[in-house]
Chain A
């Protein structure tokens, strides 16, 4: 009994905990190990940055944490529930109730206005903030009735962030949120992310190719060939505006 409990992850402080997760893609005869045994702890309220070369498995990990994808082997816990045991239906509910996503290509619905894009989320989540408030938070209170095609890339990405935070998620997962943006707009977007993280204590994971961005994170995880090659904790964090692109 005693032994068993010791082997359980420490639920109290880690919001995410993974054990030996692998993700294998089989194309023809070759098996690609997108993830090759990842053990990781992410802590509540932290802003974590994932860094690593292209193809190292960052997006794959993020998708598994967000319940978008299944791991081939291994275990993932969100707080005290095991994601790897969940059915598709339960994963959908998990995403709906707890996770906010931000993608590199904004992924707004072109036929909906900024406000309606945010409402897409508030319509189905259990405890949302008003969609308009979410847009105010990202500084787009005046652009609510604009369609995606009428907005710049940075504005679109801020709409995407508003959409992700509107449900007041416990976790915010961002896959290269600044990838398609220039430095000034990139900084604006990062500031919004840090602001959310500090104001609501939302656990935030950000994938990026820009090594400088790590300096605003609590925790930086380096990826290499489907494995974590290094984890670093920042004692002092920079404000996004101080980051040199």
Chain B
């Protein structure tokens, strides 16, 4: 090995703590890049493959009841490749050993045994036989959550009668990658299941012989769904069509899409931050090394090493740091990406996961790491290359201190000498102090931007479950029923309050902007399912008016007082002008609200309702469920407590993991920045500090200069970090906001305090490690070495 390479390795060994501190920050960048890109590609490739293999449809539509003869016409629409009609209906399930009811979504399975679209993938058993109406296949998550196996049975409330159903198989379907029940906020596989039964059985159960109520279309490549949707709507209109939609409005796909978008955002925003910090750290450390090795650089050149060789020598030192960081990042990223991708596959019901982070992603992440560290080292290495040998052999000119206004101010304040030394050094290298501060600030920001989610979730839960949806349960019906049903509900065992609510699918128009939503209509002054404005004041829509959630209003670009056109998708399918009277604060969905009486009058129907909200006396809960199971038209009951529990379990668990990851990241950044900055301080000031010791200052007083300066920088970093953190949090709430949900920006003092605490403690810890070196400083040898 060449002597100069031996020098490289020995230098690296001497610097290893600093090198590791930097390498770990770099590793974070590489790992996050691999993880987010890996998960992003895993999710999107798995989705593509799954959709393709199991022929996920492109356009979907529901109707009340359409004749099968219509299918020929639908198939004639330009661009349509495949058409499949199905009978779909929700039903109450009675699961053995479970007091609460569950909801089942029944899908008809073609008697031919060969579905064209949305092909369920059989995991166990077989599909139902056409001549066995009691045979069903259920979705695997539902089977697992309830401990079902083939040959087990449960009963369903079909046409007002209890039917025993036997499970003959379990399956997964591309339509239910994200399986969320009616009225639910989060998937709950125990209380919501997908049930495939033979076409014949489903037709009998929902009284649909010779008819269908759901149709899926596949389109030829590069065919825009919009004109197809329009024609399909026209065809279905006479049969109670509820408005066709494409994949972007398909619940399961929309959730999946939101997740994929988030991962892509993560892959583009986070890694550059880590790379920038490690680049800065490398640059700080390398310029110090080049300053220290000035005479060695001169010597190397004097004995015939070229500028390029000298430059490369220092770049390679940074390169070693990069290699360590990249390798750690690769390992951590590979492990993290795989385990998170599998967790995702679990959360989203994929039958398989294509997890394959291509070597190109590894190469790109590695390259990004090496390039940023090299960029960081570039200026120092170039300085080494440019240093004229004759100059390099001379000691550097002593740094110039000028008496400035700041100095005069300091002396006027009667500060102690060590304090003046601290301040003067901060001011002498303002850019370096600023960048160090910025590095620490990013650590603070990292904690702020993940911890705020806790408070945001608390607010979401508070608003969704305690302020607005105060009912204990929601009764769901197959179709709208006369409003008188609310009276019967009031008479069910244990029911304390019952309030009616009606849903109408509409397309809202405002100028060229349109949005398909469901209008919720209720009686004025409802107590259970309320809507609130930003200030928390309960609102009721006046006749003739409509209240929109803030995000919906923003999407339609309307304000209070503007008019929107509501195109009703059922009934007479008429369009009415409605004045926006209020804006509603809401984090789930895109709500639109009207007065129930006004709505009934508007669409000229007798009073109807779609759902009933109830509160109940929990002591009679079992009786209530038993009674509900006997009600013919009730297809489901949504338990708000379970809803909340499912939400909190799933989301909060993820947030705990997220918070931990971000704390680790913050600590790594802080240690990386503070430790290196303090080591450089110590190296630059060793002589100065040693002279103070010789002059009679004690250890505490001398280390005060070192610790004081670093902690002052760390403290200056706090408000900057809060600010950046708040800004990142705001950007995150914006980017996470979709039609499905939004995250409010809730920034509480406790979040800032926690972030600062985490960062200041790790900063202090790192500086104290360096202080330990200062305590052991060999005064004589420091004074003897020449700078």
Contacts and interface: CB of A to CB of B under 8 A. Distances in A.
A124 B299 contact: no
Contacts of A119: 2-3
B303 interface: yes
B639 to A, nearest CB: 70
A101 B7 contact: no
B757 interface: no
Given A88-B307, A92-B307, A103-B393, A120 B302 contact: no
A116 B304 contact: no
A101 B302 contact: yes
Contact of A112 (B7, B390, B393): B7
Contacts of B296: 107, 109
Given A68-B389, A69-B389, A105-B786, A111 B303 contact: no
Contacts of A103: 299, 302, 393
B10 A96 contact: no
B390 A63 contact: yes
Interface string A84-125: 000011001101110111010101010110001101110111
Nearest to B298: A107
Interface in A60-92: 63, 66, 68-69, 88-89, 92
Interface string B368-393: 00000000000000000000111001
A92 B305 CA distance: 7
Contacts of A66: 302
Given A92-B301, A107-B299, A120-B300, A112 B389 contact: no
Contacts of B388: 68-69
A163 interface: yes
Interface in B273-326: 295-296, 298-307
Contact of A105 (B6, B295, B305, B390): B295
B650 to A, nearest CB: 55
Interface in A10-68: 63, 66, 68
A92 B393 contact: no
Nearest to B12: A111
A183 B581 CA distance: 101
Most chain A CB within 10 A, of B2, B10, B300, B304, is at B304
Nearest to A63: B390
Interface in A121-146: 121, 123-125
B402 interface: no
Given A116-B3, A123-B2, A92 B390 contact: no
A97 B306 CA distance: 12
Interface in A155-182: 163-164, 167
A97 B299 CA distance: 15
Most chain A CB within 10 A, of B14, B298, B306, is at B306
B390 A68 contact: yes
A93 B302 CA distance: 10
B4 interface: yes
Nearest to A104: B393
B29 to A, nearest CB: 30
Nearest to B394: A59
How many of chain A's residues touch chain B, expressed as a range?
20 to 34
B11 interface: yes
Contacts of B14: 111
Nearest to A60: B390
Contact of B304 (A97, A111, A112, A117): A97
Nearest to A97: B304
A124 B303 CA distance: 9
Contacts of B298: 107
B304 to A, nearest CB: 3
Contact of A124 (B6, B304, B307): B304
Contacts of B306: 89, 92
Given A111-B7, A111-B14, A120-B3, A96 B390 contact: no
B295 A120 contact: no
A107 B304 contact: no
A88 B301 CA distance: 11
A69 B393 CA distance: 11
A120 B11 contact: no
B151 to A, nearest CB: 75
Contacts of B299: 103, 107, 109
Contact of B303 (A95, A112, A116): A95
A28 B307 CA distance: 28
A6 B389 CA distance: 36
Nearest to B390: A69
A154 B296 CA distance: 19
Given A96-B303, A96-B304, A111-B14, A123 B4 contact: yes
Given A95-B303, A124-B305, A109 B393 contact: no
A232 B578 CA distance: 112
Given A101-B302, A105-B786, A120-B303, A111 B10 contact: yes
B488 to A, nearest CB: 89
Contacts of B301: 68, 92, 95
B384 to A, nearest CB: 14
B390 A121 contact: no
Interface string B5-47: 0110011001000000000000000000000000000000000
Given A107-B299, A163-B303, 8 more contacts: A63-B390, A68-B390, A105-B295, A107-B296, A107-B393, A112-B6, A112-B7, A120-B3
22 contacts: A63-B389, A68-B301, A68-B390, A92-B301, A92-B305, A95-B302, A103-B299, A105-B295, A107-B296, A107-B299, A107-B393, A109-B296, A111-B14, A112-B3, A112-B7, A116-B3, A116-B6, A119-B3, A121-B303, A163-B303, A164-B303, A167-B304
Interface of B: 2-4, 6-7, 10-11, 14, 295-296, 298-307, 388-390, 393, 786
Q: Which 7 A-B pairs have the closest CB atoms?
A: A96-B304, A119-B3, A69-B390, A111-B10, A120-B3, A107-B299, A63-B390
Interface of A: 63, 66, 68-69, 88-89, 92-93, 95-97, 99-101, 103, 105, 107, 109, 111-112, 116-117, 119-121, 123-125, 163-164, 167
